[in-house]
Amino acid sequence: MTAANVGGLGERNLVQTIRRLLGEARDAGTIGPGDDAAVLHGGSGQQAWSVDRQREGIHFASAWLTPGEIGYRAVTIAASDIWAMGAEPRWILSALELPAGLSVVEFEDLIVGLRDGARAAGAEIVGGDVGLGSSLGLVTTVGGQLADGAEPLLRSRARAGDELWVVGDLGWAAAGRLLLEIDRAPQSDAELRCVAAFRRPQTPVAFCRWAASSPDVHAMMDVSDGLGLDLHRMCAESGVGAEAAGDVLSEATPADVATSVGSTSLDLALQGGDDYAMLCAVRPGADVAAATGGVTARRIGAVTEAEPGIVLVAGDMRSALPATGWDPFSGATE
């Protein structure tokens, strides 16, 4: 390690350091850091647990969202990691850091949002903590249950030859966030949909349930930090490479919406983040589209051998796909 503080390491190096210092799990059946959630063995079968934090000024601004939307969003985002592991969310612990100036009405709206997000995920809030802070912050821990005899869906089991699919929208939430940042009212139905995608992310639950029981799905993870970065994470864990279809990704977000926020559809899909779609590596020929429950599904490429790495293919052009996306530690100095 050459950086003097955590701001210089980047998230990947921080996670690798944590994994190195913690060592291997003492229970051979436990799956620890490295995937979307930990998987534990208990008396009632395997459980998946994960934790996520949302903080004002980093992940959202109160001017963009109602307190209810903030609560709903926090639970949905945290539960997405459990769905990605092939488990059903069941229990939620919510730790709240509340500014003193938050009104009781706003606080109640926040709790209703948390409750509604939990119900939408099929879970319940079973406890938590409340404290005073300089700004609003939420730490959400979600526990889920795997079906009896089911194996968790890991990032590390993608195989060369697999098809790569994304179930859910790519780039829409990022475009919505950018519209909120520039404080421009949506001018079209597509822009309204983008803002809604950021405010109230939706998990492709029907597909996640199918994936959890399907032998065709070899690896899965949720796309939270941008497809470009998350695809690198899956490939690194699996020891494989990939080809990503630039023509498909360039159509993921309406071009006029991307232009309106000073971006391109391709950049929003690869770098935008906040999608919470599911990236999966599946057996060639698997009928993914039939299992999505009407949610958008795109075949975005294929898994290859580890060399030459991850390549973006656009027509006759092939170029290395950089691992760019949302990294809260990238370039941070304080």
CATH number at residue 74: 3.30.1330.10
Residues 213 and 79 in one domain: no
Percent of the chain with pLDDT over 70: 88
Q: How far is CA 40 from the centre of its chain?
A: 21
Q: Is the pLDDT of residue 315 over 90?
A: no
Between 212 and 101, name the one with better pLDDT.
212
Please tell me the distance from the alpha carbon of residue 230 to that of residue 232, in angstroms, as a whole number: 5
pLDDT value of residue 131: 85
CB 259 within 8 A of CB 184: no
- Residue pLDDT, tens place only, 268-306: 999 998 999 999 999 999 999 999 999 999 999 999 999
Residues 230 and 97 in one domain: no
pLDDT value of residue 276: 94
pLDDT value of residue 178: 94
Question: Which sign does the torsion angle of CA 48, 7, 100, 71 carry?
Answer: negative
Residues 84 and 210 in one domain: no
Whether 150 is in a domain gets the answer no
Whether 108 is in a domain gets the answer yes
Residues 138 and 208 in one domain: no
Residues 92 and 169 in one domain: no
CATH number at residue 198: 3.90.650.10
Domain count for the chain, please give it: 2
Q: Residue 101: which pLDDT band, with cuts at 50, 70 and 90?
A: confident
Whether 16 is in a domain gets the answer no
Whether 21 is in a domain gets the answer no
Phi-psi region of 204 (alpha: psi -120 to 50; beta: other; left: phi over 0): beta
Residues 208 and 291 in one domain: yes
Residues 210 and 64 in one domain: no
What's at 149, amino acid-wise? G
The secondary element (H helix, E strand) that includes residue 38 is strand 38-42
Residues 129 and 162 in one domain: no
Between 318 and 184, name the one with better pLDDT.
318
User: At which of 96, 117, 145 does a domain end?
Assistant: 145
Residues 235 and 297 in one domain: yes
- Residue pLDDT, tens place only, 41-69: 665 678 999 999 999 988 888 889 999 99
Whether 6 is in a domain gets the answer no
Whether 82 is in a domain gets the answer yes
Coil vs helix vs strand at 6:
helix
Whether 42 is in a domain gets the answer yes
Coil vs helix vs strand at 109:
helix
Mean local confidence (pLDDT), 77-91: 95
- Residue pLDDT, tens place only, 126-178: 888 888 888 999 999 999 999 988 899 999 999 999 999 999 999 999 999 99
- Residue pLDDT, tens place only, 192-226: 999 999 999 999 999 999 999 999 999 999 999 99
Residues 50 and 71 in one domain: yes
pLDDT value of residue 186: 84
Enclosing domain of residue 303: 155-320
Residues 190 and 285 in one domain: yes
Nearest to residue 272, comparing CAs of 180, 171, 190, 198?
171
Q: Residue 25: which pLDDT band, with cuts at 50, 70 and 90?
A: low
Residues 202 and 110 in one domain: no
